Structure formats: C-alpha cells, structure tokens
Amino acid sequence: MSEHAGTSGERMFKRLALIGVGLIGSSISHAARRAGLVGEIVGSSSTAETRDKAEALGLVSKAYADPADAVRGADIVILCTPVGAYGEIAKAIGPHLEKDAIVSDVGSVKAAAVRDIAPHIPGGVHFIAGHPVAGTEQSGPEAGFAELFDGRWCILTPEADADRMALAKLETFWQRLGSQVEIMTPEHHDLVLAITSHIPHLIAYNIVNTAAHLGRVTDSEVIKFSAGGFRDFTRIAASDPVMWRDVFLNNKEAVLEMLGRFSEDLVSLQRAIRFSDAATLERLFAEARAIRRGIIQAGQDTAMPDFGRRPEGTKPSES
C-alpha cells in the first residue's frame, strides 16, 4: 500500500458522486463505505428504476436524473457509465464541478476517455482517467459488492501535466478500495487491454453467435451438452452489450491490431491441425497452460475449479 494511504475509516473525501450506478459504481459504493472513505455518496442515472434501486439499496443517499445535480459539492466524481456517454456527461457536469475536485472514470478504454472528458474539465479541477480491471458478467445496482476490487489492478492514466497531489490521492483511494495500482499512458493501456480483455470478449460473443446460427442444433445438442469451454464463453458473452459496443467502437485501432495478430496465430494452429503437426500443437498448448499458471501465481484467479457449480452465496468470477 502507498505511503499516502491512511488507516481504515479515515475519510478522504466529503462527497463522492457516482455518475452511473451499475456493477462498478455500486461496487465502489460498497467498498468506499466498507473502508469509511467518504462522508456522503450520491449518484446519477438517466433511468428512474436504477435511481430507485440505488437509493433503496443504500448505495447512495440521493440519486439524481441530471448528473450536474450530483456533482455539486462533490470533491470526487467518478464516471461509471458506458464510455460512449462520456462526452455528453462531461459537457453537462463541467460548469458545476467544485474547485480542486478530482474527476475520474472506470472505462475499459482510456484514450477515448481522455479525448471526450478532458476538454470539458475547467481549470482548478483535476481529471485523471482510470480503469479498475475487475468485473463480472452481472450488471445493475444490485450486482455490486465490496470485494470486487480486492487484489485486482486499477490502472490510472494521468496526462503529463496532471497534479501530483491529486494523482497520489486517487491512487490511495483505489488502494483503500482493495486494488493494486499501476500507472501507464492511455495508449499503452488500450493496447494491453485489447488483447487481455477486449479480444476475449469479442471471441466469446462470436463463438456463442456461431453456435446460435446452427439453428436446430442450438436448441438441443449444443445447449444440452455444453461442456466447460463453451459454457464459459457464454458467461463472458452475458456481459453488458451496450458497454462492450462502446468499448469496441472507441478502441477500434488497438482491437483491430490485436485481432490481426490473433488471426495470424489462429492460421498457425489451423495449419498444425491440417498437417497433423502434433509437436507444434502440444508446444502451443503447453505455452498457453503456463500463462494460465502464471495468472494463478500472480493472485489474479484461483486454481480451484467450480465447473459451473459455484457454492451458494459466493460471487461470480471476473470476466
């Protein structure tokens, strides 16, 4: 933990405004209240049902339809909506932001976040883009839980002239939510996440749709006999379609670059199968298996299998 981190229960901010109270926004609320980080949490959502749920669950003391109302008096503001909405939200809240407030986000794409948010942030307000690399296939205010960020990474992508005190404070905030923090440029973030998150989701959506296009078979054998591989793809493909639509539209260059590399590697596998190249297949599979073991050793997953039979009361795994 950073040297800037305070003890549990020490308030860092007087008012946190969550613009969007879905899985990530609600989890921030849970984790911030667990750590006693803020005096008050308010939220904003364009959907009345979400606002009502957020208040009923105690995630926020007040949920507003207009994000401008939520940011008034807030010394930390976090955008937790799909990235495609960032520009309009930033434009709406800009004139109402408090001096010295910190504005951040949780989007899976960072260059687009900087492009769409930064121009609307007034002088004296500190914008630092961020991305907690954690999530599940669930969505909505009721999907959040305090442990979502525990042991996970949060990537911050400050601009070169970002205020150092504000950056240190935001870093500490995420550490006290349970995360490890990494600093990188928005462009580097987008390239890394294209292969570690975006392409896997694209593959998941594609393979599930391919099965669906089999028509009659999908209604019987494919669903009935779903083994671990296909079943796990369907879990990933259950993620929020609006969020992922915006991810691919706003990180198209990096995604297309990584998709090209993936396609080339897929051709190599295709060739090995066609020519019965057992040695190549085994080598590639062994290398991939070693990556999986490295992820477990890094504490980013558990080696314990659940085979779709997760014990009642536990939370779904990261997607």
For residue 30, give both structure tokens. Answer: 């849970």
pLDDT at 313: 46
Q: How many domains does the chain have?
A: 2
CA 132/CA 202 separation, integer angstroms: 20
Residue 82 belongs to a domain: yes
For the sheet with 62-64, list strands across it.
62-64, 38-44, 13-19, 76-79, 102-105, 126-127
> 263 and 169 in one domain?
no
Same domain, 30 and 173: yes
Which two tokens mark 164?
Answer: 């150092």
User: Using an 8 Å Cβ cutoff, are 14 and 45 in contact?
Assistant: no
Provide the residue range defining the domain that includes 76: 13-185
Q: Is 219 within the bounds of a domain? A: yes
Give which of 103, 73, 69 is closest to 86, Cα–Cα.
Answer: 103
Sequence-distant (≥ 6) Cβ neighbours of residue 182 within 8 angstroms? 153, 154, 155, 156
Domain boundary among 118, 150, 185: 185
Q: What is the pTM of this model?
A: 0.81
Residues 41 and 170 placed together within one structural domain of the fold: yes
C-beta separation of 187 from 111 below 8 A: yes
104 and 27 co-located in one domain: yes
Residue 205 and residue 78 share a domain? no
- We report the CATH number of the domain holding residue 281 as 1.10.3660.10
Residue where one domain finishes, among candidates 142, 162, 185: 185
Give the residue from 68, 59, 14, 63 showing the smallest Cα distance to 37: 14
Domain boundary (169, 185, 201) is at 185
For residue 90, is it within any domain? yes
Does residue 272 form part of some domain? yes
User: 282 and 144 in one domain?
Assistant: no
Q: Do residue 31 and residue 115 come from a single domain?
A: yes
Q: Do 173 and 204 have their domain in common?
A: no
Tell me which amino acid residue 200 is. P
Q: How far apart are CA 253 and CA 191, in angstroms?
A: 9
- Residue (of 111, 135, 101, 176) closest to 25 by Cα position: 135
**CA distances to 91, 111, 114, 198, 262 from 249, in Å:** 20, 12, 15, 11, 19
- Mark whether 94 and 239 lie in a shared domain: no
Strand 129-133 relative to strand 153-157, pairing:
antiparallel
Per-residue pLDDT of the chain (319 residues; tens, 9 = 90+): 333 333 456 899 999 999 999 999 999 999 999 999 999 999 999 999 999 999 999 999 999 999 999 999 999 999 999 999 999 999 999 999 999 999 999 999 999 999 999 999 999 999 999 999 988 778 899 999 999 999 999 999 999 999 999 999 999 999 999 999 999 999 999 999 998 889 988 988 888 888 777 755 555 666 666 666 777 777 788 888 888 899 999 999 999 999 999 999 999 999 999 999 999 999 999 988 888 888 777 776 666 655 444 444 444 444 3
Same-domain check for residues 104 and 131: yes
Asked if 125 and 235 sit in the same domain, the reply is: no
CATH number at residue 113: 3.40.50.720
Same domain, 231 and 245: yes
The reply to whether 315 falls in a domain is no
302 falls within a domain = no
Residue 303: per-residue pLDDT: 65
Q: Is residue 313 part of a domain?
A: no
Residue 280 lies in a domain: yes
